[in-house]
Amino acid sequence: MLGSFLWLAVSMYRNTLENLKTRGIGSGFGFLHSEAGFRIGEATGIPLPQGGFLYFLISLAVGLFLSRILARHLKARNEAPLDTGWFGLCLLLSIGLPAATLYIFRDSVEIAHYTESSSYIMALATGLANTLKVAVIGCVASTFLGLFIALGRLSPNWLLSRLCRWYVELNRNLPVLMQLFFWYFVVFQELPGVKQSIDLGGWIILNKRGLFLPGLVPQQGAWLFVAALITALCGCWLVLRRAKRMRDETGEPGKRLVPCLLLMLGLPSLAWLAGGTPFLLDFPVLKGFNYSGGMGLTPEFTALVVGLTVYVSAFNAEIIRSGIEAVSRGQREAARALAMNERQVMRIVILPQAMRVIVPPMTSEYLAIAKNSSLAVAIGYPEFVSVGGTILNQSGQAVEIVGIWMGVYLCISLCISFAMNMYNARIALVER
């Protein structure tokens, strides 16, 4: 079987090269360095880590790795790192090392923006950034919306339960492409013009040209503030792990609230004082025939995100509902017998057990969001497939472009599957 597969692959490769040579089409990826020469309507900036920030990320990863190695070493010697000295050493490795790196190397992250004179590689990177932006926002939004719809379906309120049920049935049985057309042509293209915009106190402005929101403008100390925030989150993670281990081994809950508050408020505040105001709030203002300033979301992007979120949230709602109902009724009754209210029952007892049923099918929905984002070409959003199609028409390198498409989407899908499988293995029920 392996020999047959290799023979088929070699035959396809030789056949492709022969056909390209017959038609006078050159092969290879050298064309990617050529000037693109076309405009991308929505160009997401590409972050290029340089200097201090890159060293900060490396030192942060090294600090966390060393602290984890230390914890495992102590556990192997039956010396749990509950002692203040060992815990302080772990905090020093995970927080002190990145902080020292920031003090030594002071640099920022360069944001590269696509222009018509950029190369094809930059164009593909911009399209990929647009795709990833849609995928991340769609996954997060569809999860929360699906959770609310699932809880609504399980509600004892008859009207709320029926409304959520019809929401699920309607969106699950309409094709996703039709929903994208609906949101783009029927909803966003029928909004009022710029002069008659729907203005909600200056915070949300909606018109035919898109959705306008206040934006954060990075200042000189923004990189230091973000680095301090990342470091504080890592420190809180260590504090929570230590508190959980203390509870499991001694039965006494460790201190969590005060150390986490000190980390989350103290480190960013110090960064604010050291580097100055990290961000300024910029509100959109009407100037001439359009709004300027703030953060503007195009109708294509907004329609794509809303359409994918609404479509996938219906499936997520059924997955979450089935996971909640898969938990034994006796678990809920036992929790009530311990005087827990409904919110505590759902948060502490039901959802942690339901996650073992929810996570595997939810992975497929996240993969669907990433792959269905390619349908954005139908409404004019410049995502990865759309940009690649333009490059294909200009260069004629069909085999290379299709190969890049397949490789990139394969990598995205494998990354999502890997992350979800790791989380699933962590919450899986281990039998003895």
Instruction: Tell me the pLDDT tens digit for each residue of 94-112.
Output: 666 776 666 566 555 567 7
For residue 195, tell me if it sits in a domain: yes
Query: Are 191 and 274 in the same domain?
Result: no
Instruction: Output 201 or 372, whichever has higher pLDDT.
Output: 372
Q: Please, are residues 309 and 145 in contact by the beta-carbon 8 Å criterion?
A: yes
Last residue of a domain, one of 235, 250, 278: 278
Per-residue pLDDT averaged across 284-294, rounded? 78
The whole-number pLDDT of residue 82 equals: 46
Q: Is the same domain home to 194 and 223?
A: no
Question: Mean pLDDT across the stretch 173-198?
Answer: 88
Number of domains present in the structure of the chain:
2
Residue with the bigger pLDDT between 429 and 128: it is 128
d(CA 31, CA 233): 43
pLDDT attached to residue 317:
94
pLDDT score, position 141: 94
Q: Which of 248, 278, 308 is the last residue of a domain?
A: 278
Q: Is residue 12 part of a domain?
A: no
Domain that holds residue 357: 119-214+283-432
Total residue count of the chain as it appears in this document: 432
d(CA 17, CA 250): 68
How far apart CA 400 and CA 261 sit, in angstroms, is 51
Per-residue pLDDT tens for 1-28? Answer: 999 999 998 998 888 878 877 877 777 7
Same domain, 322 and 266: no
**Quick one: 294 and 410 in the same domain?**
yes
Residue at 31 is within a domain: no
Q: Are residues 227 and 168 in the same domain?
A: no
Judgement on whether residues 109 and 125 belong to the same structural domain of the protein: no
> Is 256 in the same domain as 371?
no
Whether 30 is in a domain gets the answer no
Residue 415 covered by a domain: yes
Of the candidates 262, 278, 294, which is a domain's last residue? 278
In a domain, 199, yes or no: yes
Residues 208 and 191 sit within 8 Å (Cβ to Cβ): yes
Render 43-89 in DSSP notation, one character per residue. ---EEEE-HHHHHHHHHHHHHHHHHHHHHHHHHHTT--TTSHHHHHH
CATH number, residue 323: 1.10.3720.10
Q: Left (φ > 0), alpha (ψ -120 to 50) or beta: where does 276 sit?
A: left
Q: Are 313 and 387 contained in the same domain? A: yes
C-alpha to C-alpha distance for 335 and 347, rounded to whole angstroms: 11
* Residue 217 confidence class, pLDDT cut points 50, 70, 90: confident
Do 52 and 153 lie in a common domain? no
Domain annotation covers residue 10: no
Distance CA(8)–CA(64), nearest Å, equals: 46
Report the range out of 68-72, 176-180, 188-192, 343-347 with the highest average pLDDT: 176-180
Residues 312 and 167 in one domain: yes
Poorest-pLDDT segment among 3-7, 419-423, 426-430 = 426-430
Name the pTM for this structure.
Answer: 0.78
> 257-268: per-residue pLDDT in tens?
788 888 888 888
**pLDDT at res. 81:** 46
Reported as a single tens digit per residue, the pLDDT across 42-76 is: 777 776 666 566 677 777 777 777 777 777 776 66
First to last CA, the chain: 38
CA-CA distance, 26 to 183, in Å (whole number)?
A: 42
In a domain, 8, yes or no: no
